[in-house]
Amino acid sequence: MISAEKVRTLLKFEGVTVDFTDEELQVLVDSKIDELEGLIGADIRPHDRQKTIGKFKGKSIQLNFYPVINVADVVINGFHLKNYEYGVNYDLGIIYFNHLVRGHVTVYYTTGMSDRDFSFVVAPLIKDMVSYALNYNEGLKFNKGISGEGTIASLKEGDVSIGFSYDTSLSLGNRIYTRIEDLKNKYNYNTRVRWI
């Protein structure tokens, strides 16, 4: 999905050097993808899924998970529908039938981010999450690598206290948080209104 080599190159353009091997950096990248999936409540990597409804009657089915990147098969009462017998809203995970459908329905589908969303939204966010992890000392919560940003107001060592006045409204951490919230609002399964 996103390689350690690509992340290393993108970070280099920002003046961030990485002392990890490609394998170690890939572990960090993969962990950030896992973290992001958990935070937004949607699949980034492809996941095969199945939805079965025993007694169905209607012209559309709302799948439990989305975005959908592929519908492999739609089976109604044991008969496999042809692609032209239904339409799919991939972003919302809705299947629209060309006619009224009754009976036992099973949909086999794959969820995950589209290539476009991954390239333009998720990959840059993952790169920033990795950059944040590499640049912030978790013990102090102080930015070591990106000038003009900070996440603490003061640092105390013994009797000496040093104050900081950094504007965190545009900090990398806040920008990451905002982008995660935007993705969560777009894809979170629990926030979608269900039809009655």
CA 127 and chain centroid, separation? 13
- Residue 196 has a pLDDT of 43
Neighbours of 44 (CB within 10 A): 23
φ, ψ at 17 (rounded to 5°): -100, 145
Structure confidence at residue 190 (pLDDT): 55
Pick from 177, 168, 169: which is nearest to 143 by CA? 168
* Signed CA dihedral, 35, 39, 42, 44: sign only: negative
Which letter does DSSP use for residue 122 in this model?
I
Nearby residues of 26 by Cβ (< 8 Å), 6 or more positions away: 3, 4
Q: What pLDDT is attached to residue 149?
A: 44
Q: For position 158, what pLDDT does the model report?
A: 52
* pLDDT-flagged residues of the chain (< 50): 137-157, 162-168, 191, 193-196
Distances (CA, A) of 70 to 52, 94, 106, 115, 139: 17, 12, 15, 12, 44
Q: 30 to each of 8, 158, 181, how far by Cα in Å?
A: 14, 39, 20
pLDDT on residue 41: 83
pLDDT value of residue 68:
93
Q: What is the DSSP letter of 67?
A: -
How many CA atoms, within 13 angstroms, populate the side-chain half-sphere of residue 32?
26
